[in-house]
């Protein structure tokens, strides 16, 4: 629970937040927020301590209600906290999981009081891991065609089917899944959202290896898995509405530098690897131009993110603008990765070995892993359709004539 009320002056809060971070954030983790949490890092004792401290403080979810373990901070205090975390090179370790970014906010939106009190505190403290069961082998972009079913067995549900690209399923304790509960209804109308315990014999996960070297995705098989009747989130057969809301939270979480910490500016990295003139400028004028263009895009994205966040607060929820930000975030991140490899040259192509530094190895892996950004969370083309129809009001050209 937070120690601060809404009447505390922001500068007093800033001082208190800075002191708390200095006392609790392990220096060994400084600046690591931008990197993906590999299994090696996940086993680090300092990271475990940091997760425990920030979770107990409630500052991993600073604006969530204090009654469920959140920080209970105002939006202004949360911004100050993020500024102080950036200054300290700190990051929010729980923002790499789906509990804080997707499932938790959706439970706060649609959950019963019992569901909130059962599930939100462990998410806030980082004690449980969640995955999301959406895509299926024959239901990707056309998600509403999903066939995983939940059958009413009286005092519980019986779930059978397959999900794919289930991020982190092999490590997860719970799964928030879309399932078909009425096979006779129209495809969007017969879907429900279930909260499913992953620790049971009826669920099997199989990691999918990727070119970047990690395996965050899984195939997930449900064979007569069970869930209690109160596992239903929201109303029966109205899960499509719940599922769309979760996707809004997901896209909102993907639009900013959610890892926190300090990101080294690309021009600074370029000066380490590329020739500079007598004035300290990069000699390659074309590279200078593209670096500036990238910085302008990143700055524009950040300002738009702040504007949309303010608009979403007034609208009491995420808006379709999250689709715009999802695509712009993808463009900014992928462009940075391409420029990073170009700057590093051959040193940016190292996979392992003493000839390459940690930053150089991370660069090529991030470049490869970042290619998926155009697909996950709704493909670039799907987002463009949403922007076209729901924001610009253009006619729907996806219907057959």
Mean pLDDT calculated for residue range 195-211: 93
Tens-place pLDDT, residues 224-274:
999 999 999 999 999 999 998 898 787 766 655 433 445 678 888 999 999
Question: What DSSP designation does 282 have?
Answer: B
Strands (E), 111-230: 130-133, 149-152, 156-164, 174-180, 191-197, 203-208, 217-228
Q: Which residues have a catalytic role annotated?
A: 250
Specify whether the CB–CB gap between 324 and 312 falls below 8 A: no
pLDDT at residue number 401? 41
The domain made up of 264-391 has a fold known as Butyryl-CoA Dehydrogenase, subunit A; domain 3 (1.20.140)
pLDDT at residue number 153? 96
User: Is the pLDDT at 42 greater than 60, yes or no?
Assistant: no
CATH code for the domain defined by 130-241: 2.40.110.10
Q: Are domains 130-241 and 264-391 of this chain identical in fold?
A: no
Tens-place pLDDT, residues 372-381:
888 776 778 8
pLDDT at residue number 254? 60
Beta bridge partners of 15: none
pLDDT at residue number 102? 93
pLDDT at residue number 354? 87
Contacts of 254 (CB under 8 A, 6+ apart): 326, 329, 373, 377
Average pLDDT, the chain: 85
Q: Dihedrals φ, ψ of 219, to 5°? A: -90, 140
At residue 397 the predicted structure's pLDDT band, cuts being 50, 70 and 90, is low
Q: In whole angstroms, how far apart are CA 361 and each of 9, 192, 274?
A: 44, 43, 18
At residue 383 the predicted structure's pLDDT band, cuts being 50, 70 and 90, is confident
Tens-place pLDDT, residues 82-140:
889 988 889 898 887 899 999 999 999 999 999 999 999 999 999 999 999 999 998 87
Tens-place pLDDT, residues 10-37:
889 999 999 999 999 999 888 666 444 4
The region of weakest confidence among 192-201, 228-237, 377-386 is: 377-386
pLDDT at residue number 237? 96
Q: Dihedrals φ, ψ of 186, to 5°? A: -60, 150
d(CA 31, CA 13): 23
pLDDT at residue number 314? 61
Instruction: Parse the chain into domains and list their residue ranges.
Output: 10-96, 130-241, 264-391
pLDDT at residue number 247? 83
The region of weakest confidence among 275-284, 306-315, 336-345 is: 306-315
Mean pLDDT calculated for residue range 144-161: 96
What is the gyration radius of the CA atoms in the chain, in angstroms? Answer: 22
Mean pLDDT calculated for residue range 324-351: 90
At residue 309 the predicted structure's pLDDT band, cuts being 50, 70 and 90, is low
């Amino acid at each position: 629970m937070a120690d601060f009320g809404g009447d505390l002056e922001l500068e007093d809060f800033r001082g208190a937040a800075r002191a708390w971070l200095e006392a609790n954030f392990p220096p060994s983790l400084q600046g690591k927020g931008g990197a993906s949490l590999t299994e090696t890092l996940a086993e680090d004792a300092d990271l475990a301590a940091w997760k425990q401290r920030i979770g107990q403080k409630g500052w991993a979810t600073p604006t969530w209600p204090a009654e469920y373990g959140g920080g209970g901070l105002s939006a202004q205090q949360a911004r100050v906290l993020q500024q102080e975390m950036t200054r300290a090179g700190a990051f929010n370790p729980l923002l790499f999981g789906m509990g804080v970014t997707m499932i938790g906010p959706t439970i706060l939106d649609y959950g019963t009081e019992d569901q909130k009190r059962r599930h939100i505190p462990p998410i806030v403290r980082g004690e449980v891991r969640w995955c999301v069961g959406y895509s299926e082998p024959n239901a990707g972009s056309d998600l509403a065609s999903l066939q995983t079913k939940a059958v009413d067995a009286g005092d519980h549900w019986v779930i059978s089917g397959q999900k794919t690209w289930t991020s982190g399923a092999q490590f997860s304790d719970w799964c928030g899944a879309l399932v078909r509960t009425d096979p006779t209804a129209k495809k969007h109308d017969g879907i429900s959202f279930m909260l499913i315990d992953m620790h049971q014999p009826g669920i099997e996960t199989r990691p999918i290896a990727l070119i970047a070297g990690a395996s965050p995705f899984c195939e997930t098989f449900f064979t007569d898995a069970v869930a209690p009747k109160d596992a239903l989130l929201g109303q029966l057969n109205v899960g499509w509405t719940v599922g769309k809301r979760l996707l809004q939270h997901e896209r909102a979480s993907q639009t900013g530098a959610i890892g926190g910490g300090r990101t080294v500016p690309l021009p600074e990295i370029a000066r380490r690897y590329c020739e500079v003139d007598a004035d300290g400028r990069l000699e390659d004028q074309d590279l200078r131009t593209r670096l500036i263009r990238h910085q302008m895009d990143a700055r524009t994205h950040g300002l738009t993110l702040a504007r949309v966040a303010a608009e979403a607060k007034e609208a009491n929820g995420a808006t379709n603008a999250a689709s715009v930000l999802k695509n712009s975030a993808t463009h900014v991140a992928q462009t940075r990765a391409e420029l990073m490899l170009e700057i590093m040259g051959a040193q940016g192509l190292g996979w392992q070995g003493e000839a390459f530094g940690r930053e150089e190895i991370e660069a090529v892996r991030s470049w490869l892993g970042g290619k998926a950004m155009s697909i996950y969370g709704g493909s670039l083309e799907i987002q463009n359709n949403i922007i076209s129809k729901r924001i610009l009001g253009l006619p729907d050209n996806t219907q057959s004539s």
